[in-house]
Structure 1
Amino acid sequence: MTTTPTTQADRVALVTGASGGIGRAVAERLAADGDAVVLLYSGGRQRADETLAAITERGGRAIALRADVADETEMAAAFDRAEQEFGGVDVVVNTAGVMVLAPVAELDLADLDRMHRVNIRGTFVVSQLAARRLRSGGALINFSTSVTRLQQPGYAAYAASKGAVEAMTLILARELRGRDITVNTVAPGPTATPLFLEGKPQDLVDRIADLNPMQRLGTPADIADSVAFLSGPTGRWTNGQTLYVNGGAA
């Protein structure tokens, strides 16, 4: 039977979507906290390599692997590699996701299928492996969105996929009773990542930023701080929750 690692330096974190803005911030934050980090990416190898370099140049331990979160064989191989390189897995952070926006009447069903494959099946595959292979004292953190509470036109299909993420994550927390593993969901609001800002005029960005009482967009570092809390020793009593990280927008 595996035991809880005794120090932060013993912990191993696996981060999907590590080539994205939030994924990179999460990976770098966990590495700065002392975790060895397995960076998983799908299509952004250059950005993943940049994240890897940023971590190792600061003395952190990390490897980068390509894996499709919805492919159970590829993901099992990623967990195998994490165990071979670092001895086990203690934290899984699943930031990988796809967002396609359109009104229900206009959405291409191929886009719906793609979001379901990555956001729902991908989350299920990663969660299933985490449930089987996380060490005692571990943490699984999946990603939803604050849009599930905002009812914004154009977001129906994306919000539906993330509602499914919240449901499966919170149920899994109860299923892991007795394992000393926390399972939570982080639901960011608008966050200033390159993907979010791309193609948006500044006046639109300013209007979105003004929606919350803090009157700014979130930053990837804001989201990474929440992940660090949920995955670390001070977050052990937070379990089976969806944490809305949005400055009070909803």
Structure 2
Amino acid sequence: MSTGPLSGKVAVITGGSKGIGASTAKALVKQGAKVVINYGRDSAAAEELVGTLGAENAYAVQADAGSISGIEKLVAAAVDKYGKIDILIPNAGVLPMRDVENTSEADFDHAFNLNVKGPYFLVQKALPHMAPGSSIVLVSTTQNHATTVTGPYTLYCATKGAIEQLVRVLSKDLQTKKGIAVNAVAPGPTGTELFYQGKSEQVLKFIAGLNPKNRIGTPEEIADAIVFLSGDGARWISGQTIRVNGGQA
């Protein structure tokens, strides 16, 4: 039986098989939680992560985290497996590099479906299975707070602006109705597999140089903040977007 400060808790993570999601799953299990790892397409990565964490601690569910039918499938699978949800982490997202002139309707719909509609309705469908004292941790971006943000982040920041407003309003609503805390993390540049794709050493050095620590963050550092917001140490924190970026913004 798992022991730790989150022993007995059940966490659901969308986009949980890679990057920040996978690091969060590992950190939660280390704290004693059971995790439901949602993935979209890469079943091999999800099953490898379950193998690493142990089938007694982790359960993988394929579902489209940007569609209501996929969200309903995920919540039903989680509740069938563990009977409840204590920690909800709508982490799945897409980072489209589109300024306003170069955004198609398909780009807009895809980004808002996964980054906004998915988290919104995941909260809705999970709520009946969440008890007072549960936690919801959403994911924004430091780009929403950076003075150096550039045009190609327009569409992405629009989706994450919606997430921060969800946190602001949901935190008051759900604390009042159900005693559930709602917060977000806003990561800075983070060294996931997706982040490194297509970037030259020169570009990576420039990005690292924007940070006072002169480096890029790690998925584990973001995961630690998510896990903190999921636990009792954050019991008096709600409605906050925590910038996890080493002091960059």
Give me the TM-score of the superposition, normalised by structure 2.
Answer: 0.93
1:95 aligns with 2:85: no
Aligned to 1:33: 31
Among 58, 62, 67, the residue aligned to 1:66: 62
Following TM superposition, by how much is the alpha carbon of 1:76 offset from its aligned partner in structure 2, in angstroms? 2.2
* Matches of 2:143 and 2:238, distance apart in 1: 22
Aligned to 2:144: 148
* Matches of 2:156 and 2:121, distance apart in 1: 19
* Matches of 2:132 and 2:224, distance apart in 1: 23
Aligned to 1:234: 233
Following TM superposition, by how much is the alpha carbon of 1:78 offset from its aligned partner in structure 2, in angstroms? 1.9
Aligned to 1:183: 182
1:214 aligns with 2:210: no
Residue 130 of structure 1 contacts residue 140 of structure 1 at CA under 8 Å; is this kept in 2?
Answer: no
Following TM superposition, by how much is the alpha carbon of 1:233 offset from its aligned partner in structure 2, in angstroms? 1.1
Aligned to 1:225: 224
Following TM superposition, by how much is the alpha carbon of 1:129 offset from its aligned partner in structure 2, in angstroms? 2.1
Task: Return 74-83 or 97-106, whichever deviates more.
Answer: 74-83
SS at match of 1:213: coil
What amino acid sits opposite 2:117 in the alignment? R
What amino acid sits opposite 2:217 in the alignment? G
* Matches of 1:95 and 1:103, distance apart in 2: 23
Following TM superposition, by how much is the alpha carbon of 1:220 offset from its aligned partner in structure 2, in angstroms? 0.3
SS at match of 2:152: coil
SS at match of 2:24: helix
* Matches of 2:175 and 2:233, distance apart in 1: 19
Following TM superposition, by how much is the alpha carbon of 1:143 offset from its aligned partner in structure 2, in angstroms? 0.7
* Matches of 1:70 and 1:100, distance apart in 2: 15
1:106 aligns with 2:102: yes
* Matches of 1:177 and 1:18, distance apart in 2: 26
Residue 131 of structure 1 contacts residue 176 of structure 1 at CA under 8 Å; is this kept in 2?
Answer: no
Following TM superposition, by how much is the alpha carbon of 1:136 offset from its aligned partner in structure 2, in angstroms? 1.7
In structure 2, the gaps of 5 or more residues are none
Aligned to 1:123: 119
SS at match of 1:18: coil
In structure 1, the gaps of 5 or more residues are 1-5
Residue 79 of structure 2 contacts residue 129 of structure 2 at CA under 8 Å; is this kept in 1?
Answer: no
* Matches of 1:183 and 1:16, distance apart in 2: 16
Instruction: State the identity %.
Output: 35
What amino acid sits opposite 2:80 in the alignment? Q
Residue 9 of structure 2 contacts residue 85 of structure 2 at CA under 8 Å; is this kept in 1?
Answer: yes
Among 43, 51, 70, the residue aligned to 1:53: 51
Aligned residues: 243
* Matches of 2:22 and 2:187, distance apart in 1: 15
Residue 13 of structure 2 contacts residue 25 of structure 2 at CA under 8 Å; is this kept in 1?
Answer: yes
Give me the TM-score of the superposition, normalised by structure 1.
Answer: 0.92
Following TM superposition, by how much is the alpha carbon of 1:27 offset from its aligned partner in structure 2, in angstroms? 0.6
Aligned to 1:167: 165
- What CA deviation, in whole Å up to 9, does each residue of 1:223-243 have, x standing for no partner? 000011000110111101001
RMSD, aligned CA:
1.6
Aligned to 2:201: 202
SS at match of 2:7: helix
* Cα distance, 1:7–1:143 mapped onto 2, change above 3 Å: closer
* Matches of 1:131 and 1:103, distance apart in 2: 35
- What CA deviation, in whole Å up to 9, does each residue of 1:119-143 have, x standing for no partner? 1111111121233331221100111
Residue 173 of structure 1 contacts residue 184 of structure 1 at CA under 8 Å; is this kept in 2?
Answer: yes
* Matches of 2:17 and 2:135, distance apart in 1: 21
* Matches of 1:180 and 1:126, distance apart in 2: 18
Aligned to 1:12: 10
Residue 170 of structure 1 contacts residue 240 of structure 1 at CA under 8 Å; is this kept in 2?
Answer: yes
* Matches of 1:43 and 1:107, distance apart in 2: 25
Following TM superposition, by how much is the alpha carbon of 1:188 offset from its aligned partner in structure 2, in angstroms? 0.4
Task: Return 132-141 or 91-100, whichever deviates more.
Answer: 132-141
